[in-house]
Chain A
Amino acid sequence: MSDKKQGSEPATEKGHGVLYIGMDLGTSRTSVSASNGVRETVYSAVGYPKDVVSMKLLKKEVLFGKEALERRLSLRLYKPLEKGVLKYSGDESSAEAKANLKAAKDLIGEAIRLARPRKDELVYCVIGAPAEASVQNKEAILEAAREHVDSVMLCSEPFAVAYGLDWLEDVLVIDIGAGTTDLCRMHGTMPEETDQVMFNIAGDAVDAELSKLISETCPGAQFSTQMVKEIKERHAFVGESSERCIVELPVDGKPTPFDLTDQIRRACSILVDPIVSGLQKLIATFDPEFQARLKNRVLLAGGGSLIKGLDSAIEKAMKERLGGGKVLKIEEPIYGGANGALKIAHDMPAEYWEQLR
């Protein structure tokens, strides 16, 4: 890992090579792809021991990802991103905001460590940020990243996904994260504000809906948000299910099986309508000559694209509302953003990196 801060060390001392890192900083997961072949993902959770006792027990000052979630009872747990942006953006002087900013910085540092950079290599990083993140938020992300890399840039997440797949013209990207769903229209130039649509109905909203449905239909069942998220990640689907989703939940301390097939289908289906509305808005405002082409080039990315049958459900809704359309699920939903950011980092000319050091 690069220990240096910006401008504190000449490039000549890092003569071994240059490591490019593409990062997808997400509400639920943070993924990195690097030019040394490393690809890693970590849950966007950061935990600090609550007291001296837990510190001695855990033998660490900070825990990340799954480990932090598993040990959360002994930790002050932070999920520093919410709805795709840093929670720090509100009242930045509050203790909670400061703690979230520190957690975000530590998380970015951990993501870069996971890429296993050498000390003697320049580290250039591109981070996929939510399309509509505020300037303050982007500045906070840059500040956090600069402590760990030699030069850093931000780019819009859905743009990174499309760039990574070499789909630069007449493409619609749907990036379903945990906090937000981003839709982005690509037409050969940098997408502008009018090319992007973002809404908060995404993975977390599905979790909330599923929690509500389980509460309503499974009397006595006890569960946490994390348990619901795990159920969703394992069984998520829309449309027809090939098998029943039988899940054990404790009732008065006893594991009890529940058939959650319908609840999961209904919870996941809440994504379809707002996505198709967003697509309709972006297609309807596009050059009419190219609208048909755009409709047939819809890319489905992000963790939400792992929902089985979602591509078909969107196609079906597009047929009803837009007269047709073709949705293509990307091959690696978890790493789509990070891979694209890595490609941008690779293609960025040297002088641009130098100017931002």
Chain B
Amino acid sequence: MAGLRETMREAVRKLAYRTTVDNLRKRGVEQVSIVGLDRISRLVEESVHRGLRSRLGGLEREAAADAAKAEFLRLIRSNEDLQKSRSELEQLKERAEEEVDRLRRELEQDRQALAKRLEPADLGEMARTEGENARLAERLTDLFRVLASEPELRLGHVQEKVMELLFDAVGTERKAADAMRRELEDREVELLQRRIRKLTETLEQTETRLKEVSSLKTIEQGISSVYREVQGLKTSEPDFEARKGLMSAIFEANLRLQKKKA
């Protein structure tokens, strides 16, 4: 019985909730009455014993005490199992929430990266490659060589020819750069869009799973009945016959009523 008392103390401790004196004061509580765990468990024990003493004979009392003890321990275990499964589900929910947060952050980063990529790229660097400079220099040299061989060199004509060459060179490079930029953009955009689609899909799936976990009915909210099977009158009960007759009368009346409705 000492073990049971300890279990009872433990159960009462688990069922209790903690609060602070400040919290109580805020709720307008000025004084509290304190009942110790020992006292509660002694009271429960004493009341059970008194009940058993007044209602049962020796053997029955022992059997009832054993049954009550077994049932009490079973309820404690059942409560512990329930707490454990609830805790597991809460952890699962927390993990799912963390996953959603991570996916959201990743998605945002990718969106920002895509936006940055879509900004016009600095193509000046590409145009100023060494080979291009050399080709331009060669064409200019050729031009000036041709111009130098002309008998009458006019400044306006030189300017016209140089500008023609430059426009041609710049136009060619611009076309190449545009084509390259479009290709690059298309490739990166496609890549990022694919990734965003995937992430969005994953996010949706995770959010759905989170909702499912949150609304899971597997966390049993109900409280177990003290009866494992249907009871009914016991022949040992006082006024058994009279009670049996009363039960039968109630049943008959209900049967008539429900049959009539059917």
Binding site for B on A (CB under 8 A): 1, 16-20, 34-38, 116-122, 124, 135, 138-139, 142-143, 153-155, 163, 168-169, 188-190, 344, 346-350, 352-353, 355-356
B104 an interface residue at 8 Å Cβ cutoff? no
Instruction: State whether B247 touches A121 (Cβ < 8 A).
Output: no
Instruction: State whether A352 touches B227 (Cβ < 8 A).
Output: no
Given the interface pairs A189-B246, A348-B232, the reply to whether A116 lies near B255 with Cβ below 8 Å is no
| B-side contacts of A119, CB under 8 Å | 217, 220, 222
B167 an interface residue at 8 Å Cβ cutoff? no
B221 closest partner in A (C-beta): A116
Q: How far is the CA of A210 from the CA of B122 in the complex (A)?
A: 88
| A-side contacts of B250, CB under 8 Å | 153, 155, 190, 344, 348
Name the distance in Å between B23's Cβ and chain A's nearest Cβ.
Answer: 24
| A-side contacts of B230, CB under 8 Å | 18, 122, 124, 350, 353
Instruction: State whether B255 touches A17 (Cβ < 8 A).
Output: no
| B-side contacts of A190, CB under 8 Å | 245-246, 249-250, 253
B55 an interface residue at 8 Å Cβ cutoff? no
Binding site for A on B (CB under 8 A): 217, 220-233, 239, 242-243, 245-251, 253-255, 257-258, 260-261
Q: Which of B228, B248, B249, B258 contacts A142 (CB 8 A)?
A: B258
Q: Which of A19, A116, A142, A347 has the most CB of B within 10 A?
A: A347
B249 closest partner in A (C-beta): A190
Q: How far is the CA of A143 from the CA of B221 in the complex (A)?
A: 25
Q: Which of A117, A118, A168, A352 contacts B251 (CB 8 A)?
A: A352
Instruction: State whether A349 touches B247 (Cβ < 8 A).
Output: yes
Instruction: State whether A346 touches B224 (Cβ < 8 A).
Output: no
Instruction: State whether A355 touches B247 (Cβ < 8 A).
Output: no
Q: How far is the CA of A34 from the CA of B225 in the complex (A)?
A: 8
A345 closest partner in B (C-beta): B231
Instruction: State whether B257 touches A347 (Cβ < 8 A).
Output: no
Instruction: State whether A1 touches B251 (Cβ < 8 A).
Output: no
A118 closest partner in B (C-beta): B222
Supply 10 further A-B pairs (C-beta < 8 A) apart from A168-B243, A190-B250.
A17-B225, A19-B227, A119-B220, A142-B257, A143-B261, A168-B246, A189-B242, A348-B251, A349-B233, A356-B251
